[in-house]
Amino acid sequence: MNPIELIDKLEQDHILGHSDFLRLLSGNLLPDEALYLKQRAREVTDRTFGRKVRIRGLIEITNVCRNNCLYCGLRKDNRILKRYTLTDDEILGCCKTGHDMGFRTFVLQGGENPAITAEKVTNLVSAIHDRYPDSAITLSLGEWDDYSLKMFRDAGATRYLLRHETINPAHYSRLHPDEMSRDNRLRCLDTLKQLGYQTGTGIIVGSPFQTLDNIAEDLLFMRDLKPEMIGIGPFLPHSLTPFSSYRAGDLDLTLRIISILRLMFPHANIPSTTALATLHENGRCLGLLAGANVVMPNLSPPDMRNQYSLYDNKAAFGAESAEGLKALSSQLAKNNLYITTEKGDYSDV
Ligand code: SAH
Ligand code: SF4
CA of 66 to the centre of ligand 1 (A): 14
Query: Model confidence over 184-211: pLDDT tens digits?
Result: 999 999 999 999 999 999 999 999 999 9
Q: What percent of the chain has pLDDT over 70?
A: 100
Q: What's residue 323's pLDDT?
A: 83
What is the reported pLDDT for 321? 86
What residues does ligand 1 touch, defined as CB less than 6 Å away? 71-72, 109, 111-112, 140, 142, 162-163, 165, 204, 233, 235-236, 238, 275, 310-311
d(CA 328, CA 338): 9
Each residue's pLDDT tens digit, 315-337: 888 888 878 899 999 999 999 99
The Cα–Cα gap between 345 and 158 comes to 9
Q: Would the CB of 58 count as within 6 Å of ligand 2?
A: no
The yes-or-no verdict on residue 28 having pLDDT over 90 is no
Q: What is the pLDDT of residue 317?
A: 84
Residue 319 confidence (pLDDT): 81
Residue 197: its pLDDT value, please? 98
pLDDT value of residue 169:
97
* Residue 113: predicted pLDDT: 98
More confident residue, 149 or 319: 149
Q: What is the pLDDT of residue 338?
A: 97
Mean pLDDT across 56-76: 98
- Give the DSSP letter string of 179-197: T--HHHHHHHHHHHHHTT-
Burial class for 79, CB neighbours closer than 10 Å (0-12, 13-18, 19+): exposed
> Which atom of ligand 1 is found nearest the CA of 65?
1
Domains of the chain: 3-340 (3.20.20.70)
C-alpha–C-alpha distance, residues 165 and 175, integer Å: 9
Q: Which atom of ligand 2 is nearest to the CA of 76?
A: 6
Which of the listed residues 64, 72, 179 should we mutate to test ligand 2's pocket, taking the one with most ligand atoms within 8 A of CB? 72
Give the whole-angstrom CA distance, residue 207 versus residue 235. 5
* The predicted structure's pLDDT at residue 320: 83
Rounded CA separation 59/339 (Å): 19
Give the residue-averaged pLDDT of 229-254. Answer: 97
Find the 4 Cα to ligand 1 centroid distance in Å: 34
Atom 19 of ligand 1 has which residue's CA nearest to it? Answer: 72
Residue 128: pLDDT band with limits 50, 70, 90 = very high
Q: Is the pTM of this model over 0.95?
A: yes
Least confident of 119-133, 210-224, 323-337: 323-337
Q: For ligand 2, is residue 227 a contact (CB within 6 Å)?
A: no
**Strands of 338-340's sheet, edge to edge?**
294-295, 52-55, 338-340
pLDDT per position as a tens digit, 84-119: 999 999 999 999 999 999 999 999 999 999 999 999
